[in-house]
Amino acid sequence: MNSYCIAPRTHFGPLNPDQNPRHKPWLSPPDFVCSAATHTLSHSAAPPTTRLLLARRVSELRFLYAVAPHHRRRFFSVQASARGEEDVEDNGSVVAVRDGGGNGGDGGEGRIVISELHKEATDAYMAYAMSVLLGRALPDVRDGLKPVHRRILYAMHELGLSSRKPHKKCARVVGEVLGKFHPHGDNAVYDSLVRMAQDFSLRSPLIRGHGNFGSIDADPPAAMRYTECRLEALTEAMLLADLEQDTVDFVPNFDNSQKEPSLLPARIPNLLLNGASGIAVGMATNIPPHNLGELVDALSVLIHNPDATLQELLEYMPGPDFPTGGIVMGNIGILHYD
C-alpha cells in the first residue's frame, strides 16, 4: 500500500494525456501536492479509470499543481471554510460569542451563538459594572465596609488581634488577608489597612496603629514590615461582637478553602459614622462622617418614632462631623437631600 495525494488538475484541459501532455491521469507523489487530504491507495491494484473518477469527485476542493522537484515554487497553505445553513451578513452588527452555560453531560465547553453587537456590549458592560460596584469600589450599606476592609477586620479577628492583645506586624495581617480572602496586590491591602488606622481619615478609626502611618500632609506610611496594628475596642463592640451568634451568612472564599462573612453584624450604621468614598463604573459615592454620640441619639429617635422627619432628626444630628474639624455653615444643603 502506498500513500498518494489526490490532486486534481489546475489546468482545465482534457484529461486525455495525448491531448494534454502536462497532465497525467494517474496520481504519483512527485508530480502533485495535495492541499486538503491524503488517501491510501494501491498503485498496483487501482486502475487509472478508478483514480480518474476519484479525482473528479473531489473537484470542488482547491489543489496546487507542482512541477518537477527541481523547479518547484513556494506555495502558501489555503484553509477552506464551510458555510452554514444560514449565512449571516458580516456588517459589524453581529458577533459570535461563546455560551459557557454547558450542554449537558457530554463534557463540552459551551457553544457558539450569534448575538447582536450592541446587545452583547451592553450586557458585558453591565456585568463588569455590577462586579465593580459589589465587589470592590462601593461599601455595603449594612456594615459600611468595602470587601477589602471587611476582610482585613475579619482576618485580624481570626488572628486574635483584639484591643487587649499586643500589636502584631502589619505584614502578618496583610499575608493573612492575601492568602485566605483577598488575592490581590499587597499594596492595595496595606493601603486600606493604613487608612482605617488614620485618625485624620476616619472620624472613628477601626484599627489601632503603632508606628509611622503617614500624616495629613500626604506623607507615606512606613513599610508594612515596620508598622504594627491591632483592633480598636470600638470595632470589636460595633462590628465583631455578634459575629459568632449566627447573625450573618458565611460564604466560601475565592478558592473554597475558607469561610468568610458576607458582611459584619454592625450594631450602628458605620456608613454614617465614618462615611465612605469610592469611584465605580458609571457612579461614585462620597458620604461624610458623623459624630458617634449624635448618631446614637438620632437612632434612638428613629426607634421610638420610625416616621420621624429629616427636620426632627436634624435636632439631634445637625450635620456631618469631619475628623479634621471645621464648622458647617448652615444646613440648607442637607434639607435638599430629603
Active site residues: 226
Cβ neighbours of residue 167 under 8 Å, at least 6 residues apart? Answer: 161, 208, 210, 228, 229, 230
End-to-end CA distance of the chain, in Å?
90
- The C-alpha atoms of residue 231 and residue 153 are separated, in whole angstroms, by 8
Helix ranges (DSSP H) in the chain = 48-57, 117-132, 147-158, 170-180, 186-197, 233-235, 270-273, 292-304, 310-314, 332-335
Cell 480598636 belongs to: 232
Q: Pick from 206, 326, 222, 220: which is nearest to 276 by CA?
A: 206
Cβ neighbours of residue 10 under 8 Å, at least 6 residues apart? Answer: 63, 64, 65
Task: Kindly write down the DSSP assignment for every residue of 104-128, as one continuous string.
Answer: TTS----EEEEEEHHHHHHHHHHHH
Q: Pick from 263, 153, 267, 261: which is nearest to 208 by CA?
A: 153
Cell 444630628 belongs to: 317
The set of cell numbers assigned to 53 is 473518477
How many Cα neighbours within 13 Å face the side chain of 293? Answer: 0
Count of CB atoms situated within 10 Å of the CB of 204: 19
Q: What are phi and psi of 4, to 5 degrees?
A: -130, 150
Buried b (16+ CB within 10 A) or exposed e, 263-283: bbbbebbbbbbbbbebebeee
Q: Which helix (H) or strand (E) holds 116?
A: strand 111-116
User: Taking the alpha carbons of 294, 300, 302, 305 in that order, is the dihedral positive or negative?
Assistant: negative
